[in-house]
């Protein structure tokens, strides 16, 4: 049993992570820390977890960040941009595993890109240089190697949009099935994607019964998507990404358009190529026709559902990739990373099936 700490446990990703860890058979004590809720109990912030720590009438108090880090074998951080390095350094000093749910560790050594989009700099560049981007399906061997590593063990947990988008393109790019320019990624997200902060765009009366793109051409997940697609393709990829806010709580659905590299390829061939590519990935389900991927069928699970289609022009592939933004797009993927890094069965603690409704 490993001791876990969740730093930033009152944010949405942190709270979801606590919930998943509560059901994880290898997770022992779970320490929670939150600067905004010091001295309060977890259940006062999240009444859904009332009674969730064994006691029917209580729940643990939030502890000091340093105390949580000192006690834990695995530290998860879900903090605003620019706050992860300090926690990462403390973990490195102690030799514990650090999994960051913010964007701080998603760019590896490429500080310039990080700084351009997030306006922060690296306090510990050497930790970033040694870190791994935690998309397990892409980087499993490197993540697995972290466990026995003598060096720092830092994982940058991927963003929600990049997870759905890049998994939807991975087979096409790696197998050279897609042209590498002119790709369009049109994605919808549920409102939890913008977290617990009270904003006009997440005010019920503003977003119910309504949908719209936002941050067009300037969303911070753009450089992350670009970097991962380039790694997958082995060369620069030209893509356009537009996020939309949809009136639903959870989920991301990315509708992805690319031109077939081989003219005349049939949709069945393309689907089989995808299915074969992911045959050994438990969490990626390439759906048989006529199913279409939707957030509904992956809700509360760590699955990424992918369906493969062809446009009416016969030349444009349309791939739909759906995840739960809070699970595979955040907390679940963090647990998956922990499982791989620590040598647990990758599915442990993530075996729940999505509810039908």
**Does residue 40 bind a second copy (CB under 8 A)?**
no
**Region from 49-57, 66-74, 122-130, 143-151 binding a second copy, contact rule CB under 8 A:** 49-57
Q: Which stretch binds a second copy (CB under 8 A): 11-19, 80-88, 148-156, 334-342?
A: 11-19
Rounded CA-CA distance 184/187 in Å is 10
Q: In angstroms, give the least distance from the CB of 319 to a second copy.
A: 10
How far apart, in whole angstroms, are the C-alpha atoms of residue 295 and residue 321? 9
Q: Is 154 a residue of the active site?
A: no
Nearer Cβ to a second copy, position 265 or 282?
A: 282
Residue 182 touches a second copy, criterion: CB under 8 A: yes
**Binding of residue 115 to a second copy (CB under 8 A):** no
Residue 81, phi then psi, degrees to nearest 5: -50, 140
Q: What separation in angstroms does the CA of 71 have from each of 4, 22, 143, 153?
A: 8, 17, 23, 17
Q: What is the dihedral of CA 33, 34, 35, 36, to 10 degrees?
A: -150
Nearest distance from residue 301's CB to a second copy, in Å? 8
Least distance to a second copy, CB of residue 255, Å: 5
H or E element that contains 146? helix 136-146
Q: Which helix (H) or strand (E) holds 73?
A: none
Give the CA count within 13 Å in the CB-facing half-sphere of 240.
9
Helix (H) or strand (E) segment spanning residue 10: none
Query: Segment contacting a second copy (CB under 8 A): 28-36, 119-127, 133-141, 291-299?
Result: 291-299
> Using the rule CB under 8 A, which residue among 119, 150, 200, 263 binds a second copy?
200
The DSSP secondary structure of 213-279, one letter per residue, reads: E-STTT-THHHHHHHHHHHHHTS---EEEEEEE-SSSS-EEEEEEEEBSSTT--HHHHHHHHHHHTT
Using CB under 8 A, which of 39, 198, 263, 264 touches a second copy?
Answer: 198
**Considering the complex, what minimum distance in angstroms separates the CB of residue 111 from a second copy?**
20
From 64-72, 80-88, 93-101, 236-244, span contacting a second copy (CB under 8 A): 236-244
- Pick the catalytic residue: 4, 91, 154, 160? 160
- Interatomic CA distance for residues 11 and 238, integer angstroms: 34
- By CB under 8 A, what part of segment 56-75 binds a second copy? 56-57
- Provide the minimum distance between the beta carbon of 72 and a second copy in the complex, in angstroms, as a whole number: 20
Judged by DSSP in three states, 189 sits in strand
Q: Does 249 bind a second copy (CB under 8 A)?
A: yes
Query: Taking CB under 8 A as the rule, does residue 279 contact a second copy?
Result: yes
Say what angle helices 332-342 and 12-22 make with each other, to 10 degrees: 50
In DSSP notation, 86-117 reads HHHHHHHHHT-EEEE-SSTTSSTT-HHHHHHH
247 forms part of the interface with a second copy (CB under 8 A): yes
Q: Strand, helix or coil at 182?
A: coil
Out of 184, 230, 265, 342, the only residue in the binding site for a second copy (CB under 8 A) is 184
Q: Which of 299, 335, 341, 349 binds a second copy (CB under 8 A)?
A: 299
Q: Does 46 bind a second copy (CB under 8 A)?
A: yes
Give me 313's structure tokens: 């022009």
Among 28, 35, 38, 51, binds a second copy (CB under 8 A): 51
Given candidates 202, 233, 261, 348, which one binds a second copy under the rule CB under 8 A? 202
Give least dist CB 22 to a second copy, A: 6
**Binder to a second copy among 30, 88, 322, 335 (CB under 8 A)?**
322
Give the tokens for residue 52: 């969730």
Residue among 3 and 196 whose Cβ is closer to a second copy: 196
Distance CA 129, CA 165 (A): 24
Q: Active-site positions? A: 160
């Amino acid at each position: 049993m490993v001791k876990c700490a969740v730093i930033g446990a009152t944010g949405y990703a942190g709270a979801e992570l606590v919930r998943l860890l509560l059901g994880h058979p290898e997770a022992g004590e779970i320490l929670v820390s939150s600067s905004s809720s010091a001295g309060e109990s977890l259940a006062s912030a999240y009444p859904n977890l009332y009674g969730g720590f064994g006691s029917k009438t209580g729940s643990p108090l939030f502890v000091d960040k340093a105390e949580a880090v000192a006690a834990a074998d695995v530290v998860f951080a879900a903090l605003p941009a620019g706050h992860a390095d300090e926690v990462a350094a403390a973990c490195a000093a102690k030799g514990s595993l650090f999994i960051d749910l913010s964007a701080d560790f998603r760019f590896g050594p490429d500080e310039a890109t990080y700084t351009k989009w997030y306006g922060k700099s690296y306090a510990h560049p050497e930790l970033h240089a040694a870190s791994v981007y935690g998309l397990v399906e892409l980087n499993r061997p490197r993540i697995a190697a972290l466990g026995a590593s003598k060096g720092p063990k830092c994982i940058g947990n991927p963003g929600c949009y990049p997870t759905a988008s890049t998994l939807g393109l991975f087979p096409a790019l790696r197998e050279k099935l897609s042209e590498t320019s002119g790709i369009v990624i049109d994605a919808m997200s549920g409102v939890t994607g913008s977290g617990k902060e009270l904003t006009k765009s997440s005010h019920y009366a503003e977003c119910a019964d309504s949908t719209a793109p936002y941050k067009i051409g300037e969303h911070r997940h753009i450089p992350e998507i670009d970097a991962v697609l380039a790694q997958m393709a082995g060369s620069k990829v030209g893509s356009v990404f537009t996020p939309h806010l949809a009136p639903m709580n959870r989920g991301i659905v990315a509708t992805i358009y690319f031109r077939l590299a081989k003219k005349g390829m049939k949709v069945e061939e393309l689907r089989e190529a995808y299915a074969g590519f992911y045959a050994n990935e438990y969490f990626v389900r390439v759906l048989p026709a006529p199913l279409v991927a939707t957030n509904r069928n992956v809700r509360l699970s760590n699955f990424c559902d992918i369906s493969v289609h062809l446009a009416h022009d016969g030349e444009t592939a349309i791939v739909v990739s759906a995840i739960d933004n809070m699970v595979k797009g955040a907390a679940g993927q963090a647990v998956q990373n922990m499982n791989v890094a620590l040598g647990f069965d990758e599915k442990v603690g993530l075996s729940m099936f999505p509810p039908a409704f």
